[in-house]
Amino acid sequence: MLQAGQRFDDYRIINFFESGGMGEIYLAEEVSLGRQVVIKVIRPEAIKYPNSEEARKVIQLFQREATAIARLNHPYILPLYRSGGATIDAIPLMYMVMPYCQEKSLSDWMYTHGKTALSPQEVDYTLRQAAEALQYAHDQGIIHLDVKPSNFLIRYPTDDVSKLNMQLMDFGIAKFTATTGMSQTIRGSLEYMAPEQWENRPVFATDQYALAIMIYRLLTGQSPFNGSGFEQLWHQHRFVQPMPPSTLNHGILTLNHGILPSVDSVLLRALAKNPNDRYPSRYRSGPTRDRSLPFLDNMRQRSLLPFRSLPFQRHLPCHPYRTIHRHPPRGELQRFLHHLSAVKPSHSYSLECYLFSLLA
């Protein structure tokens, strides 16, 4: 473990954050720029004994994550400042440098602000950022495979959900669809893993399934699948049909003005056991591939979200939401969101809503 005050390259360690599956995470100062950053360091034993099977897996995942992040340039994806190697006290290190987000993750933010669930309007603001980040990754041929609230960092401090700026992180187990072969070890967060991910056969709709669980939890304050261990959760994901979210936790739903039953069909389809029964992905490899992801549009159409979002949002009065057909649904993820929006009386106001009301 690195110690406070130790330096390598242009970085000075401030303190230790936590250990992860592949390494250790530290808060550090980038000395030349005088800014705080987060440094993920691969576990020392993986470098010290690089020929061991476990070390090779860790190094491969670490390099995979750096490669994935380096390929992505999107306002809702946490960027990579730098990656490389260094030596401290004769011990070689591999590291990645990323922005420091003081607010930590969406899960941490909700806990700090005493929220167990969000209203449909609050989910509106958070989900469209998550969905756009995932769609962009899918457009680059990358399946994230670990979509959950704790993997969305809050970029800037705020007490207002509508001003949250989220960035997707942790591409350590991401799959590149353009490559063949993948680790035979099943990796991911058990509560969010689609049935095909348990079998190590992920597809684009695998992220759709995890995003639907995230939406379900944000709306109801509880997971659609509950179990105390590996076998119980596998059985739930494989065989158990979740309860419609509109029928759960009526105290929270009353506080949040309720979840429309029409949302149920969209979420439950996204949670289908067979990925072919979810919203279809038309992504194909090769130069003529169609990168559209229909899932987002279906959710928007059924009452949660405005039709599109802009990277920088200003909330202005506009006409009540109405479906805009000028811009057809684009992609599996967008189609899912589009369905959720169509049945909602709009309570959110944004620059995009204002512009579309003028253009319609």
CA max distance for the chain = 65
In whole angstroms, what is the distance from residue 51 CA to residue 199 CA? 27
Q: CA-based Rg of the chain, rounded to a whole angstrom?
A: 21
In whole angstroms, what is the distance from residue 47 CA to residue 225 CA? 38
11-19 and 23-30 strand pairing: antiparallel
In whole angstroms, what is the distance from residue 12 CA to residue 44 CA? 18
DSSP string, 63-115: HHHHHHHHH---TTBPPP-EEEEEEETTEEEEEEEEE--TT-BHHHHHHHTT-
**Nearest alpha carbon to residue 130 among 352, 341, 333, 343:** 333
In whole angstroms, what is the distance from residue 137 CA to residue 144 CA? 8
How buried is 314 (Cβ within 10 angstroms: 0-12 exposed, 13-18 middle, 19+ buried)?
exposed
Torsion region of 181: left, alpha or beta (phi above 0 gives left; psi -120 to 50 gives alpha): left
Catalytic residue among 10, 108, 139, 146, which? 146
DSSP string, 226-263: --SSHHHHHHHHHHPPPPPGGGS-HHHHHHTT---HHH
In whole angstroms, what is the distance from residue 227 CA to residue 108 CA? 22
Residue 146 annotated among the catalytic residues of the structure? yes
Decide: 225 and 240 in contact? Cβ < 8 Å. Answer: yes
In whole angstroms, what is the distance from residue 80 CA to residue 69 CA? 6
Catalytic positions: 146
